[in-house]
Amino acid sequence: MSSTHRNVRRESARQGEEFIALVHRKMDRLVQEFANGEINRTQFHRLYARYQRQIAAVAQLLAESDPALWPTAVADGEDTQHLKTRLAAKALGMAVYEAGAGQPLHVFGEFDVAPEQINPMLASYRLAAGEMFRAGMRRAELDDGRWLCFVPGAQTTLVALFSLEPSESQLATLDRLHKDFEEANRHALSQPQPDPAALAYPFYSFVQRPGPAPEQS
């Protein structure tokens, strides 16, 4: 083996080891992102497994094969940011229910959960909220992999439909939007029969494909 070839192998090996160290730092950041509620479990599991596969593949090539081949072990055709974006939960639609009501006050976005499916869950959530002082939001996975989130308020319950399990950061945003909804509409919501068309809805910007805004009276 020529000295030039040996130098190329050493340089390739050094680059491969630097790549492994870089992936370890990415894994550390990923752990912190999940701990901070910035990503959901699906994103965490898929990305963490991806990083593990990359490290194992590169380490094997460095140990057993030509170190110059290690870049081929991580060329999976999809970068981390694209994968993270693709696996992020999207708010598909929402429904606002008045306390005790079986029908929503207003629905927007793609909220296509059948009433016979959501009403028992809503009733169970209200019962739990009534028995527990300041009960927080709840979430449940549907059979098709989508998630329902129930957000309590003083006068209404917000039910949000997500494409995947939402992150803690998304749930915190949703909780804040619901508080703003009730504050902005506190006078209208105090009426026996609030007019949905007269209410302000902070949720529109949060939904993946917002429906048309209600007509103003």
**pLDDT given at position 217:** 32
Token output for 26: 């990415």
**pLDDT given at position 216:** 38
Q: List pLDDT tens digits, range 13-68.
A: 777 788 889 998 998 998 899 889 898 888 888 888 888 888 878 877 776 656 55
**pLDDT given at position 68:** 57
- Summarize the confidence of residues 70-77 as an average pLDDT: 58
Rounded to two decimals, what is the model's pTM?
A: 0.66
For residue 11, pLDDT over 80 is answered with no
**pLDDT given at position 73:** 59
How long is the chain? 217
For residue 95, pLDDT over 90 is answered with yes
pLDDT category, 163, cuts 50, 70, 90?
A: very high
**pLDDT given at position 209:** 44
Question: Which of 78-82, 130-134, 200-204 is the least confident region?
Answer: 130-134
For residue 129, pLDDT over 90 is answered with no
Token output for 169: 């950061």
Could you tell me if 46 and 27 are in contact, meaning their C-beta atoms sit under 8 angstroms apart? Answer: no
**pLDDT given at position 133:** 43
**pLDDT given at position 94:** 93
Question: Which of 91-95, 113-117, 213-217 is the least confident region?
Answer: 213-217
- Summarize the confidence of residues 107-118 as an average pLDDT: 88
Give the residue carrying structure tokens 């927007």. Answer: 108
Question: Which of 73-77, 93-97, 120-124, 174-178 is the least confident region?
Answer: 73-77
For residue 159, pLDDT over 90 is answered with yes
Could you tell me if 61 and 16 are in contact, meaning their C-beta atoms sit under 8 angstroms apart? Answer: yes
Which phi and psi (to 5°) does residue 141 adopt?
Answer: -85, 135
**pLDDT given at position 17:** 84
**pLDDT given at position 193:** 87
